[in-house]
A = this chain, B = another copy of it.
Amino acid sequence: MISTTIENYIKAIFYLGETATNVTVSAVAERMQNSPASVSDMLRRLYEKGLIEDKNNITLTDQGSFLAKQIIRKHRLWETFLVKTLDFKWDEVHSIAEQLEHVQSSLLTERLARFLEYPETDPHGDPIPDKDGNFPDLSIIPLSESEPGKSYIFRSVATDAKDFLNHLDNKGLQLGQRWVIIEKEEFDGSVKLLVDDKNEVYLSEKVAKNLNICSGELD
């Protein structure tokens, strides 16, 4: 009934809806690597299936949104399985999970979740919705309250002053990155991080107070 292709469109629209204010045909086309013409055509079909609210306002219906969250749940559970159980590295698993997320069996999904002991986040630190589509609320703290040696995910910024964002850009810092705290200087509150297992970055307390993180342990 719902093809893999449709599932991928719904997922793309869900993700775009999380960041962009209004989702556009061209944004979906860009993300799906398809022509705008194909997207326009597909949106008609999604509307006919009751998955989006309107042809002009690309917003998921409750049904569409639930479907998206189910797919995201499966994707993130499988990524967790690949890393924790099959010893994949966390940056190797995406394309395999893109295939596994379309396997249809709610019993399988629930058994997998149970086997993994109901994880709240995947290996990238992204939250895993439960079977009803509810995301766990990960406790968000400023980087200044992090603990040395622990691993976190960079989640949000407390201010969007242009020069501040520029500063982050210069340091190569981006949302979703895994940050491991190498050390914290008691004296001035400065922090030294390892970003995505690659680069070391030093940050002042002033900056650290404005970066929000959540726990992202790999176990």
Residues of chain B lying within 8 A (CB to CB) of residue A96: 103, 105, 108
Q: List 17 A-B contacts (CB under 8 A).
A: A82-B108, A82-B111, A85-B115, A86-B108, A86-B111, A86-B115, A87-B111, A88-B107, A88-B111, A92-B107, A96-B103, A96-B108, A99-B102, A99-B103, A99-B104, A99-B105, A103-B103
* A residues with CB within 8 A of B: 82, 85-88, 92, 95-96, 99-100, 102-105, 107-108, 111-112, 115
- Within the complex, the shortest CB–CB distance from A115 to chain B, in Å, comes to 6
Docked pose: A105 CA to B94 CA in angstroms? 12
Residues of chain B lying within 8 A (CB to CB) of residue A111: 82, 86-88
Residues of chain B lying within 8 A (CB to CB) of residue A100: 100, 103
A111's nearest neighbour on chain B, judged by CB, is B86
Contact of A112 among B86, B99, B105, B112 (CB under 8 A): B86
Residue of A85, A88, A95, A108 most packed against chain B (CB within 10 A): A108
Residues of chain B lying within 8 A (CB to CB) of residue A107: 88, 92
A103's nearest neighbour on chain B, judged by CB, is B99
Residues of chain B lying within 8 A (CB to CB) of residue A115: 85-86
Docked pose: A104 CA to B99 CA in angstroms? 8
Docked pose: A104 CA to B103 CA in angstroms? 13
Docked pose: A95 CA to B111 CA in angstroms? 16
Residues of chain B lying within 8 A (CB to CB) of residue A87: 111
Further pairs besides A85-B115, A86-B111: 16, Cβ < 8 Å:
A82-B108, A82-B111, A86-B108, A86-B112, A86-B115, A88-B111, A95-B105, A96-B103, A96-B105, A96-B108, A99-B103, A99-B104, A99-B105, A100-B100, A100-B103, A103-B103
